[in-house]
Amino acid sequence: MNNINWYPGHMKKTRELIEGHLKKVDLVLEVIDARIPVSSKNPVIDSVVLHKPRITVFNKADLSDPKETKKWLRSYREQGISAVAVNSLSGEGFPALYKRMEGLRDLKNKDKPVKRPFRIMVVGIPNVGKSSLINRLVKRKGTATGNRPGVTKGKQWLLMDNGMELLDTPGILWPKFTHRKTGLALGFLGSIKDEILDTESLALELIKELMKIKPEVLWDRYRIETENMTPLEVMEAIAKNRGYLRKAEGVDYERTARTVLDEFRKGKLGRITLEPLEE
């Protein structure tokens, strides 16, 4: 795998973009994917958002292992970093998120006359759920296409029920691919194009990872006892169980690989955190 898509130019551009908007906001919501809290975090964010209040939002928490997410949140809080877990599709976790946002607003307005509404921006790498989060915060139905600001065209701020204002476009951060592990993690989730690795290799890597961190999901879903097996043998066993075979060539690896990746991404293998907190 190549170290694609991560050049100093990207880092600079990200910095400039975020810094431009940063001046106008009081709070940054940093969205990460609860299944991969390490790889979905942009490495430059800490230095860019250094002097702004920030809440790290563990989104897609409906797909992550709740026990692992709890550990992650605890660790953030122990470091004094504000963090909450949410599901932007169902709204779970949002009351806690609002409470934190309002707490930070009240802190800012304490002892000072309020000049303008409290302003927020959402940042994060592609596909973590920034648009879904924005839509829910402003109680808007629909996805990216519905991303038009209120009445006036070109308006930059979306009004929330609690009087806060949200920047209508999220800051997109570039993920860092220089570690093979990060590229794989983003590949498993479908956050980067499957071409980074071919589908079969990616599925094999995912099976290998699952065998390491949560082999029981392979039993639960595919009835495969993975002990003493290689990832390739597991893949072949899945193909046999599903009947993904071809007359001449035997196992249909391509179809099996696509199935495993697709089912993992949809949460059909259960709630899995691919990057548990390392103690």
Ligand X SMILES: Nc1nc2c(ncn2[C@@H]2O[C@H](COP(=O)(O)OP(=O)(O)OP(=O)(O)O)[C@@H](O)[C@H]2O)c(=O)[nH]1
Residues at the site binding ligand X, with contacts judged by CB under 6 A: 59-60, 62-63, 87-89, 124, 126-132, 144, 172
At which residue do the structure tokens 């309002």 appear?
102
- Residue 82 interface partner, choices Mg ion, ligand X, none, CB cut-off 5-8 Å depending on type: none
Closest residue to ligand X, Cβ-based? 129
Contact 57, 84 (CB under 8 A): yes
The secondary structure of 134-172 as a DSSP string is HHHHTT--S-GGG---SSSTT--EEE-TTS-EEESSPEE
* H helix runs in the chain, sequence order: 8-22, 45-48, 66-78, 94-109, 130-137, 180-188, 199-213, 216-222, 231-242, 253-265
| Residue 224: how many other CB atoms lie within 10 Å | 21
CB of 25: closest distance to Mg ion in angstroms? 18
126/250 with CB nearer ligand X: 126
22/123 with CB nearer ligand X: 123
CB of 247: closest distance to ligand X in angstroms? 36
* 266, two tokens: 């949809």
CB of 218: closest distance to ligand X in angstroms? 21
82/131 with CB nearer Mg ion: 131
Please give the span between the terminal C-alpha atoms of the chain, in angstroms, as a whole number. 28
172/232 with CB nearer ligand X: 172
131 binds Mg ion (CB under 5 A): yes
59 binds Mg ion (CB under 5 A): no
Q: Binding residues for Mg ion, per CB under 5 A?
A: 131
